[in-house]
Amino acid sequence: MNTDDLIFRLSADLAPVRRHAVARRLAIGLAMGALVSIFYVVVMMGVRPDIGVAMHGFPFWMKWGYTVSLSAVAIVMTAQLARPDSGRLRWLWLMAIPVLLLASVGIMELIRTPPGDWLAMWLGDSWMVCPWRVLALAMPIFVGLLWSFRKLAPTRLRAAGAAAGLAAGAFAATVYCVHCPEVSAIFVLTWYSLGILLAASLGALLGPRLLRW
Amino acid sequence: MRASEDTLRALMISGLDGHAGDHSALLRALVPLLRGFYRRRMGDGDIDDLVQETLIAVHTRRGTYDRARPFTAWLFSIARYKMIDHFRRGRRLVPIEGLEEILITEGFEDAACARMDVEQLLEILPPKQARMIRATRIEGLSTAEAAEREDIGESDVKVSVHRGLKSLIVRIQGGGR
């Protein structure tokens, strides 16, 4: 096709683009995916029965604090990588803060618990399923973010995929907290993080294929 | 005559606000820029397809342009991505002998861009400071020589250079990415 015709066609029916279009697009994809995950947790897995009591306790907010802050950092990184001129990644180091905070809570726990109970505390009742559930709940959110990326312009596809996977994993873990009754910091630090990392790795693996444009 | 960063950026922002005329003016202005970009790197091959593909990408992904940031940096990031993608798709067709040339033109491109960046940065300074920096830091004159040429005091030269560099540093650290 002639370049002039192409330009003419592209400029016809030009829709204005709002400021913060990237953030809006990511938020919509994330929200749509999260709705599916929330639906799955609430309807299929069930909300933990003692959620009213749990919401007055420390462990619940510790878990949410961890997963929500990881989600926030991951989303900021995803938004950076969604632009072609993403440059140097700022804020990546912020990821260390929730991890270190949770690790220090974990150390306090270990000090207060007799060593004979450490293993039971670390494995909880659900260590075998927890990472896989987080990974599974991350899938709809990851798909939602893939949809967002269809109008975005990542140029570092592996990094963008990893960031989207990380965001999906951390968000999925946030949703999963509503179901999961585990209370120990070292449990969360190990098994939640493992699920989130699995999602990020999957994102890094798939990014170069799925995010091409 | 090539369109400047400021012109392109103004057109881009106006296009984002929905002015179709400015949007098509922008796309038309990009055609020679992109042709030059690809020709320097790939010779005369199938540049036209790539230019059109890049125009489509600029159009469909225009929401990823951040109005506070340089337009050309955004544009050439897209152009570079499209070129790499193009090579990747036709991987077997890329002659290995071409590699050296690509690297050489890349180096040339970087040097040329760096010089343009310096010129652009100096433009934001008062003319006297820019002249003094150019004389002492780029042309390599001594303070005394620069003072003599401009017919001003040596301390005046030093102060101008110092102030100029300082505001450049502030500008780069604060105003950049």
**How does pLDDT run across A24-63, given as a tens digit for each residue?**
999 999 999 999 999 999 998 988 888 888 888 888 999 9
Q: Which two tokens stand for residue A58?
A: 């420390």
Q: Which residues contact A116 (CB under 8 A, 6 or more apart)?
A: none
Interface of B with A (CB under 8 A): 15-21, 23-24, 27-28, 31, 48, 51-52, 55-57, 59-67, 69, 73-74, 77-78, 80-81, 85, 177
CA distances from A106 to A115, A116, B74, B158 (A): 13, 16, 44, 58
The amino acid at residue A96 is: A
For residues A9 and A143, which has the higher predicted lDDT (pLDDT)?
A143
Q: Which residues contact A96 (CB under 8 A, 6 or more apart)?
A: none
The winner for highest mean pLDDT among A151-155, B107-111, B136-140 is A151-155
In this model, does residue B94 exceed pLDDT 60?
no
CA distance A34 to A137: 8
Q: Which two tokens stand for residue B171?
A: 């500008």
Residue window 75-114, chain A: list those with CB within 8 Å of chain B.
82-85, 87-88
Chain A partners within 8 Å of B62 (Cβ): 17
- pTM of this structure: 0.75
CA distance B81 to A154: 9
Which of the 8 DSSP states describes residue A86?
A: -
Chain B partners within 8 Å of A3 (Cβ): 31, 48, 51-52, 55
Domain boundaries, chain A: 17-210
Lowest mean pLDDT among A3-17, B49-63, B163-177: B163-177
Which of A14, A16, A152 is opposite residue B64, by nearest beta carbon? A152
Q: How many residues does chain A have?
A: 213
* Contact by Cβ (8 Å): B164, B133: yes
A13, A83, A209: best to mutate for the B interface, most B CBs within 10 A: A83
Looking only at Cα atoms, what is the longest distance across chain B?
63
Q: Please report which helix (H) or strand (E) contains residue B63, including its range.
A: none
CA distance B6 to B4: 5
ipTM: 0.84
CATH for B111-172 is 1.10.10.10
Confidence tier at A110 by pLDDT (50, 70, 90): very high
* Contact by Cβ (8 Å): B5, B120: yes
In this model, does residue B51 exceed pLDDT 70?
yes
Q: Domain B5-95 maps to which CATH number in 1.20.58.760, 3.40.50.300, 1.10.1740.10, 1.10.600.10?
A: 1.10.1740.10
Domain boundaries, chain B: 5-95, 111-172
Please count the helices (runs of H) and the strands (runs of E) in chain B: 8, 0
* Chain A to chain B Cβ contacts (< 8 Å): 83
